[in-house]
Amino acid sequence: MKRGAIGILALLVIWEVLGRTVFAGSRAVPPPTAILTQLRTDGLAFYWPNIRTTLREAGEGWLWGNGIAIVLALVLTLFPLIERAGMRLALVSYCLPVIAIGPVLAVLFSGDTSKVILAAISVIFTTLVGALVGLRSADRTSLDVVRAYGGGKWTQLWTVRLRFSLPSLFAGLRIAAPAAMLGAIIGEYLGAESGLGVAMINSQQSLAVERTWGIALVATAISGLAYGLTAVVGRALTPWAPRVSR
């Protein structure tokens, strides 16, 4: 932890020096102090409406995408014959170029629906893989005990597999949180009235470099916070899971 703090501090110092020397003429990389000054000047009145819009889109997409992924993982576990087809379908959704399908979704759906769909598409495959790995990691002895007492696949699923799947599932959910933010922001780039993506486009067009960097850092901080919050919830719900020593 101490080494990490020292590394971040060193990075900020180097960034500050480069921003005031190497990039001083082009202003492409402003120093952190200039970005913080712009953040303070803009304040909550500028950021909060945009953050609220993007969080709503990303949150709804996160819920829908993860819900679809978890249901699909359960179905593929219960019916392994369709696993190959289901995984191919999920892989196709993961490989779809968001920039290409975004305009199509914007034409087909009104309001924030297209951004929610893009956020959902961004998380399905990651969560599906995590859920499947977890469901398959169930202890064989526990499954045999359930089978010996007359339990079928459903009983094994609800009594054994779901519990064993939680650590891997939350690993996927952690990655899904920033992925949903990215999907929502890309959707705003392709057409929206408000949001962090819209604010970034406007600041770029007005050549407000410090504000553009500030918006990017705010979006990164929110994504990191969502990742960390999901990790904390995962640890609280899976106290038996092994922890990596740091």
Q: Using a cut of 0.75, tell me whether the model's pTM lies above it.
A: yes
Could you tell me if residue 202 is inside a domain? Answer: no
Q: What is the CATH number of the domain that holds 136?
A: 1.10.3720.10
pLDDT digits (tens, 9 = 90+) for 174-229: 999 999 999 999 888 887 788 898 999 999 888 888 999 999 999 999 999 999 99
Nearest to 144 by CA among 131, 120, 160, 129: 160
Could you tell me if residue 85 is inside a domain? Answer: yes
Among the ranges given (105-114, 140-149, 171-180, 206-215), the one the predictor scored with the smallest mean pLDDT? 140-149
Could you tell me if residue 139 is inside a domain? Answer: yes
Could you tell me if residue 180 is inside a domain? Answer: yes
Q: How high is the pLDDT of residue 148?
A: 80
**Structural domain count, the chain:** 1
Burial class (CB in 10 A: 0-12, 13-18, 19+), 108: exposed
Could you tell me if residue 200 is inside a domain? Answer: no
Q: Which domain, by its residues, includes 81?
A: 51-192+221-237
Could you tell me if residue 142 is inside a domain? Answer: yes
